[in-house]
Amino acid sequence: MEIKIIDNFDGSFTLEPAAQTDLFQSLTSEKFLQQIVSQAQCSAVKFTEQLFQPVPYSANTPHGMPASFEQYFKSPDHVIINVPANFMFHAKIMTPSRLCAVYQKISE
């Protein structure tokens, strides 16, 4: 089996307004925020309303995300999560099949 190297991958996407509203409601629910706080070991988090589609590994995208999101990956003040599949299904988002969301850690 041969490994195929991808030089460029278009990770852009657009969500329908209703789907985005439903998804954002799920991502900001108190119960879900508490799960993130527990895993991130901080006192609170805030959803930045930034989403991205994971991209294949390449020399330009070594962490599987668009280069513009690398700053959040390296930041101790942010956490990146995979959007749960049930949230995507509930919001009726089929394309893209996977999304990640960026949260900011809040210190109180």
Residue 81 belongs to some domain of the structure:
yes
Residue 102 belongs to some domain of the structure:
yes
Model pLDDT for residues 73-95, shown as the tens digit of each residue: 989 999 999 999 999 999 999 88
**Which residue pairs, CB below 8 angstroms and at least 24 apart, start in 53-60?**
53/11, 53/12, 53/13, 53/96, 53/98, 53/99, 53/100, 54/11, 54/82, 54/98, 54/99, 54/100, 55/9, 55/11, 56/6, 56/9, 58/5, 58/6, 58/7, 58/9
Residue 77 belongs to some domain of the structure:
yes
Model pLDDT for residues 10-64, shown as the tens digit of each residue: 556 688 999 999 999 999 999 999 999 999 989 999 999 999 999 887 777 778 8
Count of domains for the chain: 1
Provide the domain limits for residue 44.
17-106
